[in-house]
Each structure stands twice: as C-alpha cells, then as structure tokens.
Copies of this chain bind each other. A is one copy, B any other.
Amino acid sequence: MSNLLQKERQQQTLDTDKLNKFLDPDTENTQAIFKQLISDPILVSKRNYYDLTKPQLRELSAQKIQRLSSYIDNESDEAFENRLSLLAISDPALGTRIGINLALFCNAVRGNGSDEQVNYWLRERGTSKLRDIYGCFAMTELGHGSNVAGLQTTATYNPEKQSFVLNTPELAATKWWIGGAAHSANHAAVYARLISKGKDYGVKVFVVQLRDSNFNLLPGVSIGDIGTKMGRDAIDNGWIQFNNVEIPREYMLQKFTTIDPDGTVHLTPLEQISYSALIQGRVSMVMDSYRHGARYITIALRYAIGRQQFGKPGEENQIINYTLHQYRLVPYLALVYLLGPAAQKLMNDYRVILNDLYAAKNIKKSIFDLKNLFVSSASLKATNTWLISQLIDEARQACGGHGYHAYSGLGRAFQDWSVQQTWEGDNNVLSINAGRSIIKYYEGAKKGKKLGEDFAYLAKTYEKGLDLNDLETYITIWAATIQKVAQHALKIANGNWELVSQERLLLSKFHSSHYLLSEFAKRAESLTGQEKEITIALFKLYSLFFVEKFSGTFLQFKVIDAEKLAEIQSEIKKLFTQLRPHLVALTDSFKYPDEIINSSLGNFNGDFYNNYFGDVVANYGKGDKPPYLEVFSDMLGRKDVDERLSNSRSKAVLTKLGN
C-alpha cells in the first residue's frame, strides 16, 4: 500500500511557510517554543498520556509545573502565558492547572487589589513566578455557578479585632470546583459577601491562606477533592468550607472597595470593572479554539487523505474524495483558518484595553471599549468553543472506529474540550447576553448612538444585491441578516427579553461569523498568488457553509430566496473541488510537530498502520492473560444447571418435601 499522504504532499503547490506566517505572524517564536517543549523529557506528551490514571495524571502535571518554573524565571508574564497556551495544545489540563494560579488568582488580585496589594501578593511574595504562594480562585459555589451576585459565603468585619471572619453559611455555599484547592493551593482569592455593621455590601474579594508551609489546613478551613471529571483530571479541583476563618482587614482587596478600621465601607462606582480580569479566560479560549482546532482537524484530514476504503485493490480511493466526507471536514478547516486572525485581533484588543484601563488614561473610553470587548468576547467564546466541540466530534467520527481509540487523541480531546463551553461563562448565558447587547446596540444606532468598532456594521445599510463574485457579499450577507433579526426581535420582545432568547442566541452566533469574516478579509489582503486564492476560497466556504447551515433563518428573513440558496449550495461544491488538492498543504501549514498532535492517526509521515500498530504493541504488549482469568474459567467450566441443582431439586427430593 502506497503512502497516499506523502504522495499528495509531493504534488502540492502551495507555499506552506507563507501560509504559516499568515496564520501566525509570531511563528519564529512559536516554533522555538515548540522545539523546547518537545525536546524536554518531562514536558513532552507521550502516547501513554492517554492511558494514565487520575493519580498519575495529577502527579505528572505537578512535575511539569515544577519543570516550567525554571522557564518562568527568565521570561515576561506575557511570554510565559504564550508558552503555556502553546503547551496546552497537547496538554489542556496542564494549561488550566497553572492558569488557575497565574491567570485566575493573579488577575483577581490585579483586578481588585490596590497597587501595594498587587505588588505584595504577586511580586514580593513571588506568586506570579510560581514561588512561595500557589493561589486558587474561590468564586463558584455548589449552588451558584454563573450567578456571581448570588454567592453566599460571608466575610463579616469585626472592628474590635480589625479582621474578617469567613463563613460558609450552608451546604450550597460550599466553594465548589475550585481548581488547585484539593492538592496544590496554599492561598485563595475568595469571593464572599462583605458584611460590616450588619450591612451586606455584596460580593468582594479576599485573600485567604488555606494551608501552612507543611501543607496542613489552617484552622476552620475544610477542603476535599471534587474527584473525577469528564476530562482534565490532572486538575485537582476541590471544595472549600469556611468555619470562622479569621483574616486581617488588610487581606480584603481594596482597589474599588475600602474599609476603615471602624468598619465604614467606601464603594466606588467603577466597581463593575473589577470583573474585567475575568475576561482573559474568554479571550484565551478563542485563541484555544484556533490552536486546538488546528490540531484536531489536522488529524482527521491527514487520516482522510491517507486512508483508503471501498477502493478496488490498486485503486486509490481515499475517503476524503467522497463529497460527504469533504462536507464533514473541510468547512471546519475553513473555520480554523478564520479563527487565527480573529483570535489574534481579540487578544490584541484585550491587551490594549486592559492596559489603558489599568493606566487610567481615559477611564470613560476604557469602559466603553471594555463593554464592547465583553460582548464580542462573549459571542466569540461561546460560538467558537461550541464549534470546536463539534469539530472534534466530527473528526472523531470521520476517523471511524480508529477515531474511538484513545491514541487517536480525539476522544480525550472531546472530554477535555467540553468544559470550555461551560466555564468562565456558560455558553448559553454568554450568548443570550451578547445577543441582548447586539439588539440594544442596533436600537441605539438607529437613535444615533456611537458604536464600537466591532459593531459599526449595525449602523450601515445594505441595499446591494447578493453577488457571489463580490467578496464583500460574504460579509454583508451576515450584517444584513443580523440587522433584520435584531429588528424583528426588538419588535416582538417589547421589553420582555425572555420572549426572544432564540433570536438572541442566533445573533450572538451570527456576530461571531461577521467578526471572523471581517478580520480575515483584512488579513488576506497581505497575501498574494495562489496562497491568496486558496485562503479566499476558505473565506468563501466558511461564509456560505454557515449560511446554508442557518438557511432557515436566511430564507425566513428573505435575505436569500430558494434560488439563491441553490446557487450557494452549488458554489459550496465548487469550493470543495477547488480546495481538494490543497488540503495536505493547508494542514501542514499549521506546522504542528507530531509530538504536539500526539495521535497515532495524525503523524506527518502518513504511515498510519505502522504508527498505530507500533504504538499499540509498545504500550499494551502481546498475548497476556488477564489477571482475573479464573473468573472466566470458573464460569465456562461450570456444570450444567440440572446437574448443579440436582441434589436439591430432584423429583425424589421434591416428593419427599411435598409427598
């Protein structure tokens, strides 16, 4: 059997360096980090990563964190953050387990602490360099996930002792899901209700030490392991209960809220921006969507190109040549391509806006920008973490039975990825919130209110017809539809947002499409030649594929009619034909080393059967007897039931018993 992937690679004509640079302007740095990572014997993920038990995963991830601490000593926060994001492609749980400390805990301090507090907790104590303190982020409770305002843990101020006393008033107030709490963290950023002089001031943030230097729990602190999860078992999520745990007054983070020694509380109107630190997670998840999506679509496409099925012997009937298979995978490749530029723009916006905000240059503008960022990041996080979950599931199915093997990497991928849809803002909640904002922006725009850059399209008019030869069409078809849906939703909601939750959900998804398409179109300007042609084909495919997917809405709102839909369907097929010869190059352009892809089905060399069989035999051996052999031999060797029960149920016995 010839190596179809290699053969196809030899024949392809795209410049993968050029495409790689297009996808990742920072590629030299990325490749340097990949090289360090895969040559590091502790950090590199091996195939048996998929066989490790929960205790093994947790210990290995602790060793990886220790190993990373020697990297962090020599680089900036931002550089290390990027290293971690790249490392998380092949070990998502590791990224999270460190991110709990470096992103969540540290950002809670940065976002809520005074300059002195930030300096003390993060720099003087060394937390941001993985020294002395390992922090966790104690926000969610057993009874309260998305609803932060409803948290029940209390921090009651005692002016005599100038200290707070933390308590968990009931079971549902138990801090729950707290990553790192079970086995890693010695401190926590605790979200609790500030009570002073009998008054409840709402939820504020407190630094609470959980364990001493011998890792013994401090008095009043109860902690346990949450246990096994759907995925990411390397993270030691825990639960925490507080019983009269005392902390000094100074341990409340006091950027926005301050408390005098006598218990007088001062609030500032800027408090709403205290949650700005949480936005990093959402922004990162859009970047994850791009980076992890690239990994999984590469596996499925390489396999689809290299695997033969139903062909006569000698004929190379690759499964990727089936129209349906292209339909299943190629649109997701387009999605990943479009996600690259969008994720980079979002990350860049985030950094600029947060810097401006912390620098307090123009607080009004910063808050305006921040609100827009909240909406776009919510829409992009929700929509794309959903899509990547679908991508992984489709990729798994597209690899057939072998996709179900742990060494495809796709089963674990799904398990690890799934939580991205839920944490740091449940996707449905984020979407309907973003959708409501979009409707309000649209309404505001009609009254002449200023719109943020991402939403400027809501104020434009789209009169031109839909010409598939005009690239603008692929963007404006979304803008026009968003306006119509928003208009419709405004009319029927009439102030009751609950009536239009479906429409809000749609608007959030459509805004993400518009964002991706707009950003990609800008970036594609920089390309030339065949690479430009092919990326434009991906751009078109993304737009049309999703228009067809949501064609019910496009038809209902009369943006297109049945004939235009037929034209779109036929155009999609043409795009598949155009893209087909370039699929190897388009996946190679991600430049992910085999160790990052970590799949028996996704190696660059395309020698699937040898790779896969070799991995299986190396890790699971040959011809072993099961340790519980006697269970089977006892069963198979047992006597016939009549024989076994004959003594006690024979006719003679029954006669004796009855007469």
Task: Please report the C-alpha to C-alpha distance between residue A66 and residue B628 in the assembled complex, in whole angstroms.
Answer: 11
Nearest opposing residue in chain B for A406, CB measure: B228
Given contacts A406-B230, A418-B404, A621-B225, whether A58 and B323 have CB atoms under 8 Å apart is no
Contact assessment for B628 and A324 in the assembled complex, using a CB-CB cutoff below 8 Å: no
Report B-chain residues with C-beta under 8 Å of the C-beta of A505.
Answer: 324
**Is A296 at the interface (CB under 8 A from chain B)?**
no
**Is A551 at the interface (CB under 8 A from chain B)?**
yes
Contact assessment for B177 and A401 in the assembled complex, using a CB-CB cutoff below 8 Å: yes
**Is A532 at the interface (CB under 8 A from chain B)?**
no
Of A340-348, A509-517, A606-614, the one contacting chain B is A606-614
Contact assessment for A328 and B428 in the assembled complex, using a CB-CB cutoff below 8 Å: yes
Task: Please report the C-alpha to C-alpha distance between residue A402 and residue B622 in the assembled complex, in whole angstroms.
Answer: 40
Given contacts A69-B635, A184-B632, whether A428 and B1 have CB atoms under 8 Å apart is no
Using an 8 Å CB-CB cutoff, how does the interface string of A615-647 with B read, 1 for contact, 0 for none?
Answer: 011011111111111011111111011000000
- Choose among B132, B177, B236, B411 the residue that contacts A231 (Cβ–Cβ < 8 A): B411
**Is A422 at the interface (CB under 8 A from chain B)?**
yes
Task: Please report the C-alpha to C-alpha distance between residue A476 and residue B635 in the assembled complex, in whole angstroms.
Answer: 53
Given contacts A74-B641, A324-B502, A423-B401, whether A62 and B626 have CB atoms under 8 Å apart is yes
Report B-chain residues with C-beta under 8 Å of the C-beta of A270.
Answer: none
- Choose among B225, B229, B551 the residue that contacts A411 (Cβ–Cβ < 8 A): B229
Task: Please report the C-alpha to C-alpha distance between residue A50 and residue B423 in the assembled complex, in whole angstroms.
Answer: 22
Using an 8 Å CB-CB cutoff, how does the interface string of A123-147 with B read, 1 for contact, 0 for none?
Answer: 0001000111110000010111111
Contact assessment for B405 and A215 in the assembled complex, using a CB-CB cutoff below 8 Å: no
Contact assessment for A215 and B629 in the assembled complex, using a CB-CB cutoff below 8 Å: yes
Task: Please report the C-alpha to C-alpha distance between residue A170 and residue B609 in the assembled complex, in whole angstroms.
Answer: 10
- Choose among B51, B400, B610, B629 the residue that contacts A145 (Cβ–Cβ < 8 A): B400
Report B-chain residues with C-beta under 8 Å of the C-beta of A412.
Answer: 230
Q: How far is the CB of A309 from chain B (nearest CB, A)?
A: 5
**Is A454 at the interface (CB under 8 A from chain B)?**
no
**Is A171 at the interface (CB under 8 A from chain B)?**
yes
Q: Which of A59, A498, A620, A640 has the most CB of B within 10 A?
A: A620
Task: Please report the C-alpha to C-alpha distance between residue A426 and residue B328 in the assembled complex, in whole angstroms.
Answer: 14
Of A216-224, A355-363, A578-586, the one contacting chain B is A216-224
Report B-chain residues with C-beta under 8 Å of the C-beta of A143.
Answer: 1, 308, 609
Contact assessment for A616 and B226 in the assembled complex, using a CB-CB cutoff below 8 Å: yes
Of A4-12, A275-283, A534-542, A558-566, the one contacting chain B is A558-566
Contact assessment for B427 and A397 in the assembled complex, using a CB-CB cutoff below 8 Å: yes
Q: How far is the CB of A134 from chain B (nearest CB, A)?
A: 6
**Is A262 at the interface (CB under 8 A from chain B)?**
no
Report B-chain residues with C-beta under 8 Å of the C-beta of A628.
Answer: 58-59, 62-63
Nearest opposing residue in chain B for A232, CB measure: B404
Contact assessment for A407 and B613 in the assembled complex, using a CB-CB cutoff below 8 Å: no
Task: Please report the C-alpha to C-alpha distance between residue A624 and residue B236 in the assembled complex, in whole angstroms.
Answer: 12
**Is A415 at the interface (CB under 8 A from chain B)?**
yes
Given contacts A142-B609, A501-B323, whether A415 and B415 have CB atoms under 8 Å apart is yes
Contact assessment for B501 and A62 in the assembled complex, using a CB-CB cutoff below 8 Å: no
Q: How far is the CB of A594 from chain B (nearest CB, A)?
A: 19
Contact assessment for A404 and B432 in the assembled complex, using a CB-CB cutoff below 8 Å: no
Contact assessment for B501 and A322 in the assembled complex, using a CB-CB cutoff below 8 Å: yes
Nearest opposing residue in chain B for A66, CB measure: B635
Contact assessment for B404 and A422 in the assembled complex, using a CB-CB cutoff below 8 Å: yes
Using an 8 Å CB-CB cutoff, how does the interface string of A43-73 with B read, 1 for contact, 0 for none?
Answer: 0000000110111001100110110010001
**Is A550 at the interface (CB under 8 A from chain B)?**
yes
Report B-chain residues with C-beta under 8 Å of the C-beta of A634.
Answer: 66
- Choose among B170, B222, B327, B565 the residue that contacts A622 (Cβ–Cβ < 8 A): B222
Contact assessment for B418 and A632 in the assembled complex, using a CB-CB cutoff below 8 Å: no
Task: Please report the C-alpha to C-alpha distance between residue A610 and residue B612 in the assembled complex, in whole angstroms.
Answer: 46
- Choose among B58, B142, B632 the residue that contacts A626 (Cβ–Cβ < 8 A): B58
Report B-chain residues with C-beta under 8 Å of the C-beta of A400.
Answer: 145-146, 422, 426
Interface residues of A in 387-414 (CB under 8 A from B): 389, 393, 396-397, 400-407, 410-412, 414
Nearest opposing residue in chain B for A184, CB measure: B632
Task: Please report the C-alpha to C-alpha distance between residue A425 and residue B557 in the assembled complex, in whole angstroms.
Answer: 39
**Is A367 at the interface (CB under 8 A from chain B)?**
no
Report B-chain residues with C-beta under 8 Å of the C-beta of A402.
Answer: 145
Nearest opposing residue in chain B for A613, CB measure: B171
Report B-chain residues with C-beta under 8 Å of the C-beta of A328.
Answer: 428
Report B-chain residues with C-beta under 8 Å of the C-beta of A555.
Answer: 551-552, 555-556, 562
- Choose among B145, B550, B610, B632 the residue that contacts A134 (Cβ–Cβ < 8 A): B632
**Is A174 at the interface (CB under 8 A from chain B)?**
yes
Using an 8 Å CB-CB cutoff, how does the interface string of A88-113 with B read, 1 for contact, 0 for none?
Answer: 00000000000000000000000000
Task: Please report the C-alpha to C-alpha distance between residue A174 and residue B632 in the assembled complex, in whole angstroms.
Answer: 26
Contact assessment for B227 and A616 in the assembled complex, using a CB-CB cutoff below 8 Å: yes
Some 19 contacts from A to B, beta carbons below 8 A apart, are: A53-B53, A62-B628, A62-B632, A66-B631, A131-B640, A132-B637, A140-B401, A171-B609, A186-B636, A227-B406, A230-B405, A230-B411, A324-B432, A401-B419, A411-B418, A549-B552, A551-B556, A555-B555, A556-B562
Give chain A's interface residues, CB within 8 Å of chain B.
1, 50-51, 53-55, 58-59, 62-63, 65-66, 69, 73-74, 126, 130-134, 140, 142-147, 150, 170-172, 174, 176-177, 182-184, 186, 213, 215, 217, 222-231, 236, 239, 308-311, 322-325, 327-328, 389, 393, 396-397, 400-407, 410-412, 414-415, 418-419, 421-423, 426-428, 432, 498-499, 501-502, 505, 548-558, 562, 565-566, 569, 609-610, 612-613, 616-617, 619-629, 631-638, 640-641
The 7 closest A-B pairs by CB, nearest first: A230-B411, A551-B552, A228-B406, A183-B626, A73-B641, A324-B501, A555-B555
